[in-house]
Structure 1
Amino acid sequence: MARPTSPLLSRGGILAAALELVDADGDFTMPRLARALGVSSSSLYHHVPGGRSDVVEGLRNLVCAGRMPTERTGSEGWRAFAEHWARGYRGAMAAHPHVVPLLTTQTVSDPAVLASYEALVHVLVQDGFDDATALHVVAVLDCFVLGSALDAGAPAQVWADDDGSRPHLSRAVDAARSRPGDRSATTFELGLTSLLTGLESAREGGDA
Structure 2
Amino acid sequence: MARPRKQLLSRDIILEAALELVGRHRDFTITGIAQHLGVNPSSLYHHMIGGRDEIIEALRERIYREIDLDALGGADASWQSRIEYWVLAYREAVARYPSAIPLLLGRMVDDAPTLALYEVLASALAEAGVPREQHLAVISMLDALVFGSALDAASPDPLWLSSADAHPALHGAGASEPAPDRIGEGLRLGIRAAISYLEVSRAGFDRV
Q: Normalising by structure 1, what TM-score? A: 0.89
Question: Residue 187 of structure 1: SS of its match in structure 2?
Answer: helix
Q: Separation in 2 of the partners of 1:14 and 1:153? A: 24
* Equivalent pair of 2:73/2:82 in contact (CA under 8 Å): yes
Tell me whether 1:108 sits opposite 2:109 in the alignment.
yes
Tell me whether 1:55 sits opposite 2:55 in the alignment.
yes
Q: Separation in 2 of the partners of 1:57 and 1:91? A: 19
Determine the structure 2 residue equivalent to 1:19. 19
Determine the structure 2 residue equivalent to 1:161. 162
For 2:187, the aligned partner's letter is F
For 1:181, the aligned partner's letter is P
Aligned-pair Cα RMSD in Å: 2.1
For 1:115, the aligned partner's letter is A
1:101-150 per-residue CA deviation (whole Å, 9 max, x = no partner) reads 11111112221121111121123223422322223222211121111111
Q: CA deviation at 1:75?
A: 1.9
* Equivalent pair of 1:128/1:203 in contact (CA under 8 Å): yes
Residues 164, 127 of structure 1: alpha-carbon distance in 2 compared, 3 angstrom cutoff: closer
Question: Residue 160 of structure 1: SS of its match in structure 2?
Answer: coil
Q: CA deviation at 1:54?
A: 1.5
Question: Residue 50 of structure 2: SS of its match in structure 1?
Answer: coil
Q: After superposition, where does 1:62-101 map in structure 2 within 5 Å?
A: 62-67=62-67, 69=69, 71-101=72-102
Determine the structure 1 residue equivalent to 2:42. 42
Q: CA deviation at 1:64?
A: 2.1
Determine the structure 2 residue equivalent to 1:117. 118
Unaligned 5+ residue runs, structure 1?
none
Q: Separation in 2 of the partners of 1:126 and 1:180? A: 34
Question: Residue 99 of structure 1: SS of its match in structure 2?
Answer: helix
Question: Residue 16 of structure 1: SS of its match in structure 2?
Answer: helix
Q: Separation in 2 of the partners of 1:66 and 1:95? A: 11
* Equivalent pair of 2:66/2:93 in contact (CA under 8 Å): no
Q: Normalising by structure 2, what TM-score? A: 0.89
Determine the structure 2 residue equivalent to 1:184. 183
Unaligned 5+ residue runs, structure 2?
none
Tell me how many residue pairs correspond in the alignment: 206
Q: Separation in 1 of the partners of 2:74 and 2:186? A: 27
* Equivalent pair of 1:72/1:81 in contact (CA under 8 Å): yes
Q: Separation in 2 of the partners of 1:5 and 1:130? A: 59
Q: Separation in 1 of the partners of 2:197 and 2:97? A: 29
Residues 116, 190 of structure 1: alpha-carbon distance in 2 compared, 3 angstrom cutoff: same
Q: Separation in 2 of the partners of 1:27 and 1:20? A: 9
Q: Separation in 1 of the partners of 2:180 and 2:110? A: 36
Question: Residue 194 of structure 1: SS of its match in structure 2?
Answer: helix
* Equivalent pair of 1:82/1:120 in contact (CA under 8 Å): yes
For 1:145, the aligned partner's letter is V
Q: Separation in 1 of the partners of 2:68 and 2:153? A: 18
Q: CA deviation at 1:5?
A: 7.8
Determine the structure 2 residue equivalent to 1:203. 202
